[in-house]
Amino acid sequence: MTLLNENDYQDLLSLWSDLESGLGIILSSPASVQEFEQRVWQYDRWMQDLLKRDPDLGLYLLFQLATNSPVGYSASHALISAVLCHLIAGELALPDSERNSLVHAAMTMNLSMTALQDQLTEQTDRPSAMQRQAIAEHPVNSAAMLNRIGVMDEFWLETIRLHHDETTDKGELHIIAPVRRLARILRVVDRYAALISPRKAREGRSATDSMRSIIAKSPQRHDEVGHALVRAVGLCPPGTYVRLDNNELAVVLRRSGQPNLPDVAVVINEDGTVISPRLHRTSVSSPRIKLALPASAMRQRLNHHRILQLA
């Protein structure tokens, strides 16, 4: 990782936060945004530039933003979904045109229910009948809204229309129609990003539990999208928490060549005492990862700049 000092860390965290905030602004009032499609392209380029600096560091900050607070959920969900789709597109070697439509669909898939999405995150009651109807209709309504404000990319629009259509799970990924391939990818990413994020009514799941839930529900004997997601971010992505088999707690720093053996920073010893962060490469030696933890399991306040300096 490329952090030099506290200011570098704060600057980069601010850039990711500003990107998330900017995306939240255009999602909350799309009709008032001039050249909406161009703004989405702008945020896409911004996202790619930040990831190019250091993908592991970008993932670390993103997973911290996504799993530690339900505030501004719609924008956070859109951003992490776009990043994951971008990484999966690389793993699957999608053509640039498909990658662009997929990422832009990820950023805008819930456009017609942005306010409702934020409301549901804060809500402890089950969705009302009216809310359930809005949820059920949002793929079609979001695509229609985008079309009204000038988006003409049919793959972008159709990917959103189909991203909750379970029939897109049928057939091998490389032989189905391109737009159905994109919709399947977005469907998997949407579910994964939702599972790891907290709500008022429930805590977010660990990244590993979220991945297992998705793959277990796949009708495919070998879930291509789920495995591409594992290759892209690992079973325990940077920024998520794990318990080692000696009972120490750690935060994942960087992916290795093996999805289940990342580099971690040990931050709590086996007695539950917070310690000065210590780098440990699980791909090289024991202890190994015993289980992934949800963000809620780490109740101590950590100095993330100091942790990231280890890498």
Confidence at residue 217, expressed as pLDDT on a 0 to 100 scale: 59
Residues 6 or more apart in contact with residue 280 via CB below 8 angstroms: 244, 250, 263, 264, 265, 266, 287
Confidence at residue 4, expressed as pLDDT on a 0 to 100 scale: 57
d(CA 198, CA 64): 12
Helix (H) or strand (E) segment spanning residue 254: strand 249-254
Confidence at residue 188, expressed as pLDDT on a 0 to 100 scale: 93
**Pairing status of strand 289-293 against strand 274-281:** unpaired
Confidence at residue 34, expressed as pLDDT on a 0 to 100 scale: 92
Confidence at residue 7, expressed as pLDDT on a 0 to 100 scale: 80
Q: What is the pLDDT of residues 85-120, one digit of tens each?
A: 999 999 999 999 999 999 999 999 999 999 998 888
Confidence at residue 1, expressed as pLDDT on a 0 to 100 scale: 52
Residues in the chain with pLDDT values less than 70: 1-4, 67-71, 198-204, 215-222
Confidence at residue 301, expressed as pLDDT on a 0 to 100 scale: 85
Confidence at residue 120, expressed as pLDDT on a 0 to 100 scale: 86
Contact 209, 192 (CB under 8 A): no
Every domain of the chain with CATH number 1.10.3210.10 lies at 6-233
With vertex at residue 214, the alpha carbon angle to CA 208 and CA 220, rounded to the nearest 5 degrees, is 130
Q: Give alpha helix (H) positions in 109-198.
A: 114-122, 129-148, 154-162, 178-196
Q: How many residues does the chain have?
A: 311
Confidence at residue 203, expressed as pLDDT on a 0 to 100 scale: 63
Contact 84, 229 (CB under 8 A): yes
**Phi/psi at 290 (5° precision):** -85, -45
Enter the CATH code of domain 6-233.
1.10.3210.10
d(CA 227, CA 211): 9
Confidence at residue 221, expressed as pLDDT on a 0 to 100 scale: 44
Take residue 261 and report the two structure tokens written for it: 């053996």
